[in-house]
Amino acid sequence: MKLKVRLVGIETGFTPVVTINHLDAIRYDLHPRDRVTVETIGKGKRKVIAAVDVISTDKSIKQGEVGVLVEVTEELSLKEGDIVDIHPAPKPDSLKYIKRKMDGEALSARELDRIVKDIVAGSLSEVELSFFVAAVVMNPLSLEEITGLTRALTRNGSRFSTKKRPVVDKHCIGGIPGNRTTMIVVPILAAFGLTLPKTSSRAITSPAGTADTMETLADVELSLEKMEKVVAETGACIAWGGSLGLAPADDRIIRIEKPMSIDASGLMLSSVMAKKFSVGATHILIDIPYGRSAKVSSRFKAEELKQHFLSLGTLLGMKLTVMLTDGNQPIGNGIGPVLETRDVLAVLQNKPDAPQDFKEKSLRLAAELLEFAGGLSKRASYEVAKDVLESGSAWKKMQEIIAAQGPPKEQFKLGHLRTKLLATHAGTVKSIDNKAISKLARLAGAPITKGAGLYLHKKVGDKVKKGEPLYTAYADSTEKIRHVKLYHEELKPYRVK
């Protein structure tokens, strides 16, 4: 059926959706959530699979019209009054593969590729993709399946290209608040002369991802062409992977994982490696922090994950090194985009109050990559990394990267409301709960409110007096401050004895 387009300025955030009048629904035997193909008419036909919503009155969408939500509008470049052809769409073949995975069967590379193709095409609804995520959580992917999924994610997306070699990359599996080492390591290595087309994520369950923090200094939503230009000019970039079309199916999977804070090992491995494969990385460093309140809770589990990464790297033909690092407490002092940026700038600018744990970890990671990809000895690599940082060369390179990517769309300020959370008794800080700190920073408003978060005054091993501040919370509303105070009592993020 041919219908006239009415633009509806609503985003679903995932599934393409169109709305039709109830009389048209009856006429063409369409029901709410049915799958339809929406196709443009004329030269250069384009189409997208969408779900149907039915309008029960004639007030908003009249008979003969179709309400087109933002995702469909953008995909088909539609204008008000355009005519589109809508017809029922068959269920994709990938659904039977998802059902098989739910039953515990292994999937072939071809079947995984079909699932990924349908994710990218928008042929799977949010509910159907949720079943796929649930299936691989309940029935973990084998190494062969992870390899097949990684290749499928890469194959069905854009690729970054550069003739420079080596192409270096790093990734931390996350779970440690404040761990913005990428923003120190990248300018150190780029100042040394290595190439780093770094794509980073936004926060899923944390108070900030690297992209959220870098966004307070520069534009991170780059096109692939802009990214290639920035890297050609400066040797590096720090961009949000979601804007580049690199492994786009992975970004849609992440959207499903986010509400449930799901982080399945197989999906995480394929996600990380697909992004590295997509930028043509030849030498990759994986940082696996472990600790009682970290994402990886023990040395044994960290070693196990390390072997998975190394095996996957071998199967994909990628050079990989893995560092197991201390994940028993947050890194640096700031938790939340603006606060973490302050730590980054303090280290890059060699300020005396720069957090030393953050600086030291960044230097160790940079040294590992200088040895692995830069051809330096273990002893020389650390000294070179330290010299590049302390001479100001890394800060100069970071300024070049910021200028090339472009300034942020707005200047972000620290939350104007604050409260200090105090120690109830004197003693020594024995532990800090990473998960509790992340929860409290998010309650303060991070990362949505860039200036929200926590500033940690005390770290593990520090002496503390009764009534002395453990951390300060920053927010933009009294309600968020109230929530931080309330949950501070419940979560007890600091253990002082």
Query: Annotated catalytic, 353?
Result: no
**Among 149, 104, 107, residue whose Cα is nearest residue 312:** 149
Distance (Å, whole) CA 142 – CA 263? 16
Q: Which of 24, 251, 263, 433 is catalytic?
A: 263
Residue with tokens 């994402």: 295
Tokens representing 121 are: 């095409």
Residue with tokens 């993709």: 129
Left (φ > 0), alpha (ψ -120 to 50) or beta: where does 252 sit?
Answer: alpha
Distance (Å, rounded) from C-alpha 300 to C-alpha 372? 24
The DSSP secondary structure of 339-372, one letter per residue, reads HHHHHHHHHHTT-TTS-HHHHHHHHHHHHHHHHH
CA 222 → CA 189, 225, 255, distances in Å?
A: 21, 8, 20
Paired strand residues for 324: 288
Q: Which residues pair with 321 in a beta bridge?
A: 285
CA Rg, the chain, in Å?
24
469: DSSP letter: E
How far out from the chain centre does Cα 164 lie?
Answer: 26
Catalytic residues: 263
